[in-house]
Each structure stands twice: as C-alpha cells, then as structure tokens.
Structure 1
C-alpha cells in the first residue's frame, strides 16, 4: 500500500467473532456456508398467506432456549435477544476472554437491531384480540424494546461498561461497530462486544416489505430469488441472524498474545437526507461515508482491494451502489454480496458482513455472490461468482445502507 499506516494508538483489532445465520449456527458454519455460495432461501409456512414473497432465509433449526441460554432466562427474551446472547458468547470465547475474570467495568456492549421485537409484538397483539388482555405476556415490553439485546448481553457477560443500542435500520449492526470503536479510542472501555441481531420474519413485517415492493416475487423459485447485481433481480429475501465482534485496541490484544482476524481501521457515516426509503441518486452522499472511512484508515481509495457490498438484490439499491463503486473505486476491487446466500437480515446485516469481511482478510478468500454469473451481471463490477476467489486482501470496505438515508462504511485492514 502507498498510504501511511494508522497510528498505533488508533488501531482496533477484531479479536473474536460469533455468528448465527441461515448458513449455519456458529462462526465456522456460517463461513463455510457462505463460501459454498448456495442460497438458503425456502418457502416459509408462516408466510403462506402472502401473494408473493412467501419465502425467507431462516436459521437452521436449533434450540436457543434452556439448553443454550440456561438459568431459566430464555423465557423472558425475544428471539433477536437470544441470538445476540449466543453470538456474543461465541465471540468472547473465540477472543480467548473469560467474563469470570475480566474487569467488567471496562467492557462495553453495543448492539444494533432494526425491528427488534416486532415479531413478538405482532404475536401478542393477536393474542390480546383473540383471548383478552389477561393473556398478554407480562414480559412483552422487555421482549419488544430494541435495547434489550445489549442489556441482556451485558447481563450475561457481567459487562458493566457502557451498554448501548443503535438503530439505523439496515445499517444498525454496522453503526454499532462505529460506536464501539469510538468508545475504545476514547478510552471509555478496554473491550467492546458489538454487532447486530434481527429476528423479524413475521406475516405483518414481511407483508409490509412486500407491499412497498422491496421483496422478490419469485415464489416459484425462492432459492434463485436473491441475486445481487444481476440484471433480472427483483427484490430481496427477508432473513434473520446475528453477528457479534469483540473489539480491542490492537496494543492491548497484542499484549495478551492476540493479533486478531483484522483491524477495524476506519469508519465513515453520512445521511442522504433525500427520501425515507430510496437512496440518493448515484450514491453521491454514500460516497462521503466511503471516503471518510478510507481516510480514517490512513488509506487512499486505490488501496481498497475488496468491497463487501450492501448488495440487497433490489433494483434501485444495487444500481446505486454499483455506480458508487465504479466511480470511487475504478481500479476494480473484488466485490461480493453475502445476501445472495443469507438473504437480507436487516439490522443484523452490517455486523454479519463486517464479520465476513474480517474472515475474508484473515483467510485470503472472497466468497462468491449466489445466483450471479458473469452473463447476468448488469454492471461493470469485478464481482466474484461461482467459486470463492483466493486473494490477498490488504484493505476492504464493508457497505451498509438503511432506510432513512443512513450510510455506514467500515474499512478493515490486514493485521
């Protein structure tokens, strides 16, 4: 690279990863599933009443309740919170940390979610109308509110530092990592447990996306529905999942013998202020977030080897993002979108994709974009298709864009 290395006191290492996604339960299962490049979408019995978009990407069956959460705690948690707790446990263990021995006052938790307990609210609303108020759950509110994932993770890990929730729609998980890095660099904590979680696949929520024209209508072939950057894409596939990353100042990690998967070297954010749900034309304001993140990492845009794209498979998002990449990164870095495999997990997506980007750097392997071929690629992008691409990735940008005009870009570097 030609650009200077960030100063040592601003280097933040990703030392632990935890993931639960439709590709698999756990970090390694998810990574291997994404490398296979096979869509996880399938018809969803809970969505059978929908005229189109009656399919989803669900996490493979597993028991997130008493067998994993333990201590009689699962009953009070919505699914989005349960996923966050389990992913956080995996991430902390992966980092070689033990909550029983750390200084909890120096551990922060920051977790984003787009719709939080919306699916539970929908269920409880039906129960109230059918059976009356006495049958509404007494823990409806803690199961609903978006901060409870962070709260329960902090409780589970005995983390007494700042505990925060971010809400920037589909950029929420990425925003959590921005805030967590800022907390580390400000000295407010020594360890940050951060990421995103979402479990909002429900009839009403999915219908809402379907009614606004955001979902794919390929009811006859769900497995082929999510096709980022393809000329015949027609919408996203709703999904669920969680990813938690453990962040530490690189010097602190090194002192305990950990180099980490990658460095979270730079972050950038901007607001389109253009439309409630549509991106600003050409990605002109998202460009600001990308350039800020690259500069924060001490790099030039020409140093970006790889882009983990937001890549939702919607006509407008993909064309806008492709224009952004082509304009700002004309040297042709490799591009992939995990949403071809995983679907769109909304507020969890940015964290899942950041974790995958860290693994891409660590392994020198770029996963392919499912359902995309060179023949149906609409844009002049260097998209990885078919098989994983083995590539030394020294610096990568992970894009996240959310309703409300939220743009968040993370730049990760090799350790």
Structure 2
C-alpha cells in the first residue's frame, strides 16, 4: 500500500522577500516583486524589467569560507533548505539520515560562474580559472551541497527539465517516499540565471516582455500580454511520510496526492498548439490521485504571460475539466514573482499548499483586458477566500516537458 506524503516545511527566496511568511503575505495582497533591472547595466536589452533579489544575505545561512566555492543558485538552495528545516522543526540529530534524501533541480545551473570564469579565461588565459569552476557550475551541486551541509545520506538526484524542473523534482520526491524508499525528502528548485548573457539570450527568443513599466510587464491571460518576466530565487519543501510526521507531532501544512509527467514531443520551445501534452499531464496527476476532475477547485497555472502559453494552457484546462472548467479558480502568481525558470514550481507549489491550508486563493494581478481565447476564472487582481479541498500546480518547460502536482488540504 502506498504511503501518504505530507508537507511539513517550506522555504522561499524571491524578489518578494526571504522566507515563506513574508512572500505569502505579499502574494495574498497582490504585491509585485517585478522592478526595473538593476543587477547589471540593462542598456541595449529589449527587456528592462526583472524579478530580481535585492536584499538576500548569504552569510545569514552559509559560512563565508564556503561562499567562494558556491554559485548563487546553490546559495539560494541551501538558504531555503535551512528555512524549510526550521519551519518543519525536524531534529536531524535524532533522525536516520540515510532515510532523508534530496531531489532539487535547476533549469540552468551555474550561469553566473560560467560567465565570470569565461571572462577570466579571455583576459588571463589558460590556467587562471578558479579550481572550483566546474563544481560551482554543475547543476547537481544544488542537491549535493544540501546533502553535504545537512548530512543527508539518502536518495539524491538533480532534475533538469527547464521550467518544469521543480514540479518534476517534487513529484519524483513524492514517489520516493510513497514507495517507502525514504522517510523525508528535501525537494524543489533553485535558479540564479539573471546574468548578462542569459538575459540577452532570453531576449533573443522574443518570449520576454518588451514593456518597460514594471506594473504592466507581466499580465498572464490578459489580452495585452506580450511576454514573461525573468526572475530568480528558490522554493524548497520538506516532504515527509505521514506516520513519520505524526510520530514527531509535526505541523502538517498540506498533502501531495498526485503527480503527472510527460512530454509534448512537439517543439523545442513552443507548446503544443492545442495543449495536448498539458491536458494529458493534468489527467495523469488526477488519475494518480484517484479522484475525479470535478473535485479540483483551484489551479496555480504555469501562466507565463506569453501569447502561446496562456492560450494553450486554457485550452488544456477546458479539455480536462469540460463544463467544470468554468467553476475552477485559476491564478498565475508569476504576475507577482516573475518566472523563476527551474525554481518556479517550487515557489508555486508552496503557494498552492498554503492556498488550501488557509482557504485563500491568490490573485492574478495586472489583469485588465479580457482575452476571448482566455475566458476562464483567473482570480483577477484580488485574492479570494474560498475553501478548496484539491488543487493543481502546473509546470511546463522548453523541450515540451510537462509536470503537474496535485495537492490536498490535509486531514488525518
């Protein structure tokens, strides 16, 4: 019989702040973390806004001697893990750490390191790069560093599926516990790709907004949307087998009950025009949970604010839920956090779980002009107090990767 899997700790670092409580408070109020890009000179870039982190102090979480050996995406991951463990109140000294694993992903990895060390090589030549260059840029260093930092010897891997990364990581971690291979899993995603070359490359895809006003830049499902806003940060969850959590009298935030994963097998960047993969992915999660589609009351959408994604996701939702689609509340919290790429699903999973726990659905802000092709309930501009039992969180990535998580309001 499958084990039940619950969430007992969370950690967030984003443009909205550090810590789940701070971020959730702003999300509920519809506050945006999107501002004019200042992390580097934005002259010449077609996009000049971003959801950048401005007040994060890594020394609050990591020893100074380790920082020089660690890319920012690892710093965010470790900091969020520390926050999540603090919230979970799990005493690691009393646990069998061979039964605690880590699945944390990143879409891009150590891009900052790649760019800086390339500059060193160009200016100084061979042999002058940091000996830590390779360990700093490798994507698997996020779960590896977490394991080393906290002495976690269980199941450990790194997921890389572009913007579906976090959803895949959380879903895979869910399955590890469900089948009995771990008692506790650290999972989610991290990203620090707000760098000059990465930002330039995304501008070249023409998928990012060209709206300079931060207040209007990210408008998911709005008729005037014109691209996504790039963000950075991390979202980490502590998943725990139910009996293990109950035995230590843990504060249970929510429960994960379903996971769907597939591929459009259509295009390296564009989603399937009819949302076929997304539709099948949501159906897989619903089937995995063993419930009916009409039991779901809320979806935290992928909702990137691009023309293609928002239409195809809407089509997919309609095809999954049929008439019930009109009664499902949908919001894109990317309208506030920006798009954190491989870390997006980590933060969005936490927001979804809190939505169920507190009976409050966050808004899609900046929604002004309805789109005839996006005609569902997008919780426009103001959050809503509504008791929901089941909710989905979608993540779709370049390459056609799709991953959907299904959460339940926890009850023993």
2:125 aligned to which of 126, 132, 143: 132
Q: Contact (CA 8 Å) 1:95, 1:246: kept in 2 or not?
A: yes
Aligned to 2:350: 355
When residues 261 and 130 of structure 1 are mapped into structure 2, their CA distance, relative to the original with a 3 A threshold, is same
2-structure distance, mates of 1:287, 1:350: 18
Query: Is residue 2:112 matched to residue 1:80?
Result: no
Q: Which runs of 5+ in 1 are unaligned?
A: 1-6
Aligned to 1:265: 257
Deviation by residue 1:355-381 (Cα, 9 ceiling, x = unmatched): 110111111111111211465685211
Aligned equivalent of 2:404: 409
In the TM superposition, what is the alpha-carbon distance from 1:247 to its structure 2 partner? 0.6
1:279 is aligned, of 271, 275, 279, to: 271
Is 1:60 aligned to 2:54, yes or no? yes
1:175 partnered with 2:168: yes
**Alpha carbons 1:50, 1:207 under 8 Å: kept:** no
Kindly provide the CA deviation profile for residues 212-242 of structure 1, in whole angstroms up to 9, marking residues without a partner as x.
Answer: 11100012x1231011111000000110010
Please, which of 33, 50, 53 is the counterpart of residue 44 of structure 2? Answer: 50
> In structure 1, how many angstroms separate the alpha carbons of the residues matched to 2:381 and 2:9?
29
Partner SS, residue 188 of structure 1: coil
**Alignment map for 1:13-412 (pairs within 5 Å):** 13-45=6-38, 46-64=40-58, 66-70=59-63, 72-219=65-212, 221-258=213-250, 260-329=252-321, 330-331=323-324, 332-373=327-368, 375=370, 379-412=374-407
| Equivalent residues of 2:296, 2:389 under 8 A apart | yes
Relative to the length of structure 1, the TM-score reads 0.95
The Cα of 1:40 is off from its aligned counterpart by 1.6
Do the aligned partners of residues 135 and 286 (structure 1) sit closer, same or farther apart at CA in structure 2, a change above 3 Å counting? same
Post-superposition Cα deviations, 1:39-83, rounded to whole Å, max 9, x if no partner, equal: 22222231413331122111231211x342126222211000000
Distance 2:224 2:196 in 1: 26
Q: Where does the alignment leave 5 or more consecutive residues of structure 2 unmatched?
A: none
* Contact 2:189/2:235 (8 A) holds in 1: yes
Tell me, in whole angstroms, the C-alpha distance in 1 between the residues paired with 2:303 and 2:262.
18
Q: Distance in 1 between matches of 2:368 and 2:147?
A: 43
Query: In the alignment, is the contact (CA less than 8 A) between 1:23 and 1:60 conserved in 2?
Result: no
Tell me the secondary structure at the aligned position of residue 281 of structure 1. Answer: coil
SS of residue matched to 1:282 = coil
Counterparts in 2 of 1:161 and 1:112: CA distance versus 1, 3 Å: same
Go from structure 1 to structure 2 and tell me whether the alpha carbon gap of 1:83 and 1:377 turns closer, same or farther (over 3 Å shift): farther
Moved more, 379-388 or 155-164: 379-388
Answer yes or no: is the 8 Å Cα contact 1:25–1:59 preserved in 2: no
CA distance in 1, matches of 2:7, 2:260: 18
- How far residue 326 of structure 1 moved from its aligned partner, in angstroms, is 2.0
1:5-64 CA-to-partner distances (Å, cap 9, x unmatched) read xx7x43210111111111111111111121121322222231413331122111231211
- Preserved CA contact (<8 Å) 2:34 2:52: yes
* More displaced 10-residue stretch of structure 1: 45-54 or 74-83: 45-54
CA RMSD of aligned residues (A): 1.5
Asked if 2 retains the 8 angstrom alpha-carbon contact of 1:13 and 1:259, the reply is no
SS at match of 1:108: strand
Rounded Cα–Cα distance in structure 1 between residues aligned with 2:44 and 2:233: 22
CA contact 1:40–1:223 (8 Å) conserved in 2: no
Greater shift, 283-292 or 337-346, is seen at 283-292
When the two structures are aligned, how many residues end up with a matched partner? 406
Q: Which contiguous aligned blocks of 4+ residues in structure 1 show a shift greater than 6 angstroms?
A: none
